[in-house]
Amino acid sequence: MGEARKIEIMDTTLRDGEQTSGVSFAAQEKVSVVRLLLEELKVDRVEIASARVSEGEFQSVKKMAQWAHTHGYIDRLEVLGFVDGTTSLEWIVNAGCKVVNLLCKGSLKHCTYQLCKSQQEHLADVKNTIVHAQRMGLTVNLYLEDWSNGMRDSKEYVFRMMDGLKDEAVTRFMLPDTLGVLNPDETHLFCSEMIARYPKLHFDFHAHNDYDLAVANVYEAIKAGVKGVHVTVNGLGERAGNAPITSVVALIHDHMGLSTNVDESKLYSVSKVVESYSGVRIPNNKPVIGDNVFTQVAGVHADGDKKKNLYFNDLMPERFGRFREYALGKNAGRSNIIKNLEALGIELDDEATRKVTARIIELGDRKEIVNLDELPYIVSDVLKNGVENQDIKMLNYSLTLTDGLRPTATVKISIKGEIYQETAAGDGQYHAFSKAMYKIYKKLDKPAPELIDYVVVIPPGGKTNAYVQTVITWKFQDKVFKTRALDIDQTVAAIKATMKMLNMIESGNIPNMNYMRLP
């Protein structure tokens, strides 16, 4: 670790990551992700597919290869290929790619029971495939599949394979913990043995997260001297997934003092795009990119941050295109409130701050979640001017759901004292409500926001009559922000959240911090 070196990052979101149950990227989504990985994040290499999967996959790879050719990245696109004569190689060449990641057997059990071949037979097949790849103009990297179990159970097999392949035209030898079985001690030992025995070869390490040790194993592999590591965006991958790029990059930069080519500031935005494409939500406590990981909850922490940033660490949110927040709930103290008021540009005297703090703690005890968007409304309510100063008020609404007919909604609102009413049908009750509101706004020639996301959350331990929280993400004038509300009925909660949003826009009080620029 004493030598300063740069670690090569290979992202396999579009190959290994797409093996996540229920995940399938469309062709245009794949092109988009490749662009983001190479041009925004600046990863070194991208593994984009497995050969021979389907005709649809072939067409997707062709589109990615065409884009890569045009933009000078074709040598950084890699496709998994198999020891099948020239079948995989022809598939890859015909798709327009130039790099094959050849999958051979890295354990005696796989060779014996899956291939039903001797090691000598398999080694001969691998060498033959490498020769064909050279003739076809392909660069070859080589996976030793199930290498981790091979090192556990049959090191002699692994070393015989390496002895037979070390002088072949292989650019990188890739060491996968295929079943995610290794612990950090084993990872360091096995990688060290490979590097000591074959010091002139380039080794990559490929971790899986079955024991939640993928990032720790990457750490030990790099300590042992591997030159490259494999990751996925958001840790996507089969079973428990792969090592997430966000945690791995932060680990390399902060704990190892080594460098990568990855642009940290783009990690969050790229992660959100992949979240949208994959349909797999990022957990709120996911390191670096989770919604809550830069949120201080305890009041003592906010107080410490005011006093020489006592509760900061090296994971500064600004590195990743994010910002620090201070939670508003039952654990909030006066310092939390002041931090959030400062973010909104609101100044209160000590007595008003005390009252706002008491109200937020009261809401927290009732399991209500208070966020930065809602703080101005709480302040207004506490200071007895919230209701009177609402420019847009819901006077009445009616929702109708009839079997065999589309839901309908009739809404009656006032905007600065003027009353408006409209009726509309929709695909659901809230959709009907939204269309009725849109009719009013269209007649008034008022700009309407775009709904980006809609989430319903049931509090843990809730009963059938429990509140549900509806959280809606909006886009208005290039700003993205959220409003949320609680009610026993999720549609009613959504309507309340919508009214909050409309009053924010009407008053020009959209928070300046709680939004991100869309890519």
Share of the chain above pLDDT 90, in %: 66
What's the mean pLDDT when you consider all of the chain? 86
Among 122-126, 365-369, 402-406, 491-495, which is the least confidently predicted range? 365-369
Q: For residue 328, give the nearest of 347, 312, 344, 350 by alpha carbon.
A: 344
pLDDT of residue 98: 98
pLDDT of residue 389: 57
**Residue 392 confidence (pLDDT) above 70:** yes
**Do 370 and 405 reside in the same domain of the chain?**
no
Predicted TM-score of the model (pTM):
0.69
* Within-domain flag for 59: yes
**Do 104 and 20 reside in the same domain of the chain?**
yes
**Do 187 and 82 reside in the same domain of the chain?**
yes
**Do 106 and 162 reside in the same domain of the chain?**
yes
pLDDT tens sequence across 441-499: 999 999 989 999 998 876 544 444 455 778 899 999 888 888 877 666 889 889 988 99
Which residue, 248, 278, 308, sits at the end of a domain? 278
Catalytic position from the list 8, 145, 368, 422: 145
Rounded Cα distance, 390 and 376, in Å: 12
Rounded Cα distance, 56 and 59, in Å: 5
pLDDT tens sequence across 282-336: 998 899 988 777 775 544 444 444 445 554 578 788 888 876 665 565 555 556 6
Tell me which residue range forms the domain holding 138: 8-278
**Residue 172 confidence (pLDDT) above 80:** yes
pLDDT tens sequence across 50-105: 999 889 999 999 999 999 999 999 999 999 999 999 999 999 999 999 999 999 99
Rounded Cα distance, 499 and 507, in Å: 12
* Within-domain flag for 466: yes
Among 2-6, 293-297, 363-367, 492-496, which is the least confidently predicted range? 363-367
Answer for the pair 133, 99: CB distance below 8 angstroms, yes or no. no
pLDDT of residue 471: 84
Among 191-205, 377-391, 422-436, which is the least confidently predicted range? 377-391
**Residue 185 confidence (pLDDT) above 60:** yes
**Do 18 and 132 reside in the same domain of the chain?**
yes
Answer for the pair 138, 89: CB distance below 8 angstroms, yes or no. yes
Pinpoint the alpha helices (H) of 86-208.
Answer: 87-95, 108-109, 119-135, 147-153, 155-165, 184-197
* Tokens (6 digits) for 289: 């990119």
* Within-domain flag for 72: yes
Catalytic position from the list 8, 15, 78, 325: 15
**Do 97 and 220 reside in the same domain of the chain?**
yes
**Do 90 and 211 reside in the same domain of the chain?**
yes
Nearby residues of 213 by Cβ (< 8 Å), 6 or more positions away: 180, 182, 183, 184, 207
DSSP characters for 260-284? -S--GGGHHHHHHHHHHHH--PPPT
Answer for the pair 333, 300: CB distance below 8 angstroms, yes or no. yes
Which residue, 278, 305, 326, sits at the end of a domain? 278
pLDDT of residue 477: 86
**Do 320 and 414 reside in the same domain of the chain?**
no
* Tokens (6 digits) for 424: 């509309």
Instruction: Output phi, psi for 487, to 5 deg.
Output: -165, 165
Instruction: Please work out, in degrees rounded to the nearest 5, the angle formed at the alpha carbon of residue 178 by the alpha carbons of 172 and 179.
Output: 165
**Do 142 and 20 reside in the same domain of the chain?**
yes
* Within-domain flag for 86: yes
* Confidence band of 226 (pLDDT split at 50, 70, 90): very high
Share of the chain above pLDDT 70, in %: 82
Tell me which residue has tokens 């092109």: 31
Rounded Cα distance, 142 and 102, in Å: 5
Residue of higher predicted confidence among 177 and 372: 177
Residue of higher predicted confidence among 349 and 114: 114
* Confidence band of 419 (pLDDT split at 50, 70, 90): very high
pLDDT of residue 320: 86
* Within-domain flag for 285: no
**Do 375 and 437 reside in the same domain of the chain?**
no
Residue type at 349 in one-letter notation: D
**pLDDT, mean of residues 203-221:** 98
pLDDT of residue 316: 80
pLDDT of residue 283: 92
CATH of residue 18: 3.20.20.70
**pLDDT, mean of residues 513-519:** 37
* Within-domain flag for 468: yes
**Chain centroid to CA 32: how far?**
15
Looking at the 3D structure of the chain, how many domains does it have?
3
**Do 355 and 442 reside in the same domain of the chain?**
no
pLDDT tens sequence across 95-145: 999 999 999 999 999 999 999 999 999 999 999 999 999 999 999 999 999
DSSP characters for 221-242? HHHHT-SEEEEBGGG--STT-B
Catalytic-residue membership of 90: no
* Within-domain flag for 46: yes
Q: Residue 228, CB half-sphere, CA atoms under 13 Å: how many?
A: 22
**Do 374 and 299 reside in the same domain of the chain?**
yes
* Within-domain flag for 516: no
CATH of residue 466: 3.30.160.340
Using alpha carbons, list the distances in angstroms from residue 213 to 17, 81, 177, 195, 218.
17, 27, 11, 22, 9
Which residue, 350, 382, 414, sits at the end of a domain? 382
* Confidence band of 375 (pLDDT split at 50, 70, 90): low
Catalytic-residue membership of 351: no
Rounded Cα distance, 181 and 211, in Å: 7
pLDDT of residue 435: 95
pLDDT of residue 360: 72
pLDDT of residue 115: 94
